[in-house]
């Protein structure tokens, strides 16, 4: 596993700032945007802010011409601070309070995702100001996190819901789907595109206002453990499927993890150690209530290593809280570590500090930002 930082630079940052740290590299974010654009050249991106809503990431996405996928009024406030053009945003949470709709419209975001009749009815009073995307469910057993259980209408219900929306005087711009996170193949992406293309053709034969947009969601995988294909190979079936849409459909996507996961590493210190059940236990100053929260909430298995050389044995890495669930890894090969040794978690940009807590009143890790383009020069600062 390669990283954007060498071991000596890691030691220097830990000595300068203390631990725990999350080091965020904006140049890696820019690289990921370029790679995904090359893999999906005719798709417009709206960054899923929830993956990592750090200001440096939001500024970098804006500089790269990436729009924003918002799912709450809080996320609207985050992008508002950077004078983001509201027309470059979409609100993708399928279930909303009316105040969420009002907050979004005050900001200027007018495109919303819905997935059922009750949600359609919430937009009747705003029908002259909004455009809707109807989310379709495609359960995906190949995904680590299958989002279709909680959101989306069945494909068989889609045409009826589109007709209900038309009767209510609502403007439905198109369809939306999300086949889940960390799929090992793009077969469900391709299937969903073909199914949506069929629905769009059938509706457009009869509809007064044709559907013109398809949102293919996110879920583009990153390689935590050396088992995923590269992004160009992964997206090849999606590119092929998109040809079935024809040239008059605007295709958008909501990438999150792929753009930011490789852009951050965690630097923690061993704060204590013990021997239990004939195995060494090492207690870190960050854990699953902090930056390693994705171990629980995101099912992520981050590459973890130490900077100390030596023969490795099965070990346990625990977090700093007084809770037994706070186990970062319960079987990891590590050399014999000492108190103060550094442990590095890689690929930790997505769903880490964004889902962390302050349980036990422990402070969250500090974030060090590298290579943010603030003055056209590469800079580093603390945020």
Positions annotated as catalytic residues are: 322
Whether the Cβ atoms of residue 46 and residue 86 lie closer than 8 Å to each other: no
Whether the Cβ atoms of residue 78 and residue 53 lie closer than 8 Å to each other: yes
User: 164, 168, 142, 167: which is closest to 153 by C-alpha?
Assistant: 164
User: 126, 64, 154, 218: which is closest to 111 by C-alpha?
Assistant: 126
In the block, which residue shows the tokens 């969250």? 364
| φ, ψ (nearest 5 deg) of residue 164 | -60, -45
Residue 247: partners with Cβ closer than 8 Å, 6 or more residues away: none
Q: How far apart are the C-alpha atoms of 311 and 9, rounded to whole Å? A: 24
Whether the Cβ atoms of residue 112 and residue 123 lie closer than 8 Å to each other: yes
Whether the Cβ atoms of residue 232 and residue 39 lie closer than 8 Å to each other: yes
Whether the Cβ atoms of residue 218 and residue 48 lie closer than 8 Å to each other: yes
Whether the Cβ atoms of residue 236 and residue 193 lie closer than 8 Å to each other: no
């Amino acid at each position: 596993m390669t990283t954007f930082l060498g071991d000596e630079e890691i030691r220097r940052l830990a000595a300068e700032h203390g631990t725990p740290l999350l080091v965020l590299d904006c140049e890696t974010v820019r690289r990921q945007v370029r790679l995904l654009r090359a893999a999906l050249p005719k798709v417009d991106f709206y960054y899923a802010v929830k993956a990592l809503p750090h200001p440096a990431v939001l500024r970098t996405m804006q500089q790269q011409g990436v729009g924003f996928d918002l799912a709450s009024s809080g996320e609207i406030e985050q992008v508002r601070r950077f004078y983001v053009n509201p027309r470059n945003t979409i609100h993708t949470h399928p279930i909303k309070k009316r105040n969420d709709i009002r907050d979004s419209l005050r900001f200027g975001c007018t495109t919303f995702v819905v997935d059922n009749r009750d949600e359609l009815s919430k937009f009747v009073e705003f029908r002259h100001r909004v455009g809707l995307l109807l989310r379709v469910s495609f359960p995906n057993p190949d995904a680590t996190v299958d989002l279709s259980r909680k959101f989306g209408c069945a494909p068989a219900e889609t045409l009826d819901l589109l007709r209900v929306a038309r009767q209510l005087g609502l403007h439905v711009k198109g369809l939306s789907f999300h086949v889940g996170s960390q799929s090992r193949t793009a077969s469900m992406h391709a299937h969903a595109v073909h199914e949506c293309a069929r629905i769009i053709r059938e509706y457009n034969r009869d509809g007064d206002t044709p559907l013109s947009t398809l949102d293919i969601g996110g879920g583009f995988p990153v390689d935590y453990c050396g088992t995923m294909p590269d992004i160009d190979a992964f997206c090849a079936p999606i590119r092929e499927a998109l040809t079935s849409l024809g040239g008059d459909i605007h295709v958008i996507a909501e990438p999150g993890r792929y753009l930011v996961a490789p852009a951050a590493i965690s630097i923690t210190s061993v704060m204590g150690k013990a021997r239990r059940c004939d195995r060494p236990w090492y207690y870190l100053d960050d854990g699953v209530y902090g930056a390693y929260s994705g171990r629980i909430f995101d099912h992520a298995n981050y590459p973890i290593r130490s900077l100390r050389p030596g023969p490795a044995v099965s070990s346990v890495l625990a977090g700093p809280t007084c809770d037994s669930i706070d186990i970062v890894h319960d079987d990891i090969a590590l050399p014999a570590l000492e108190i103060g040794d550094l442990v590095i978690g890689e690929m930790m940009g997505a769903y880490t500090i964004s889902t962390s807590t302050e349980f036990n009143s422990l402070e969250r890790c500090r974030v060090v930002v590298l290579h943010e383009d603030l003055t056209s020069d590469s800079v580093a600062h603390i945020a």
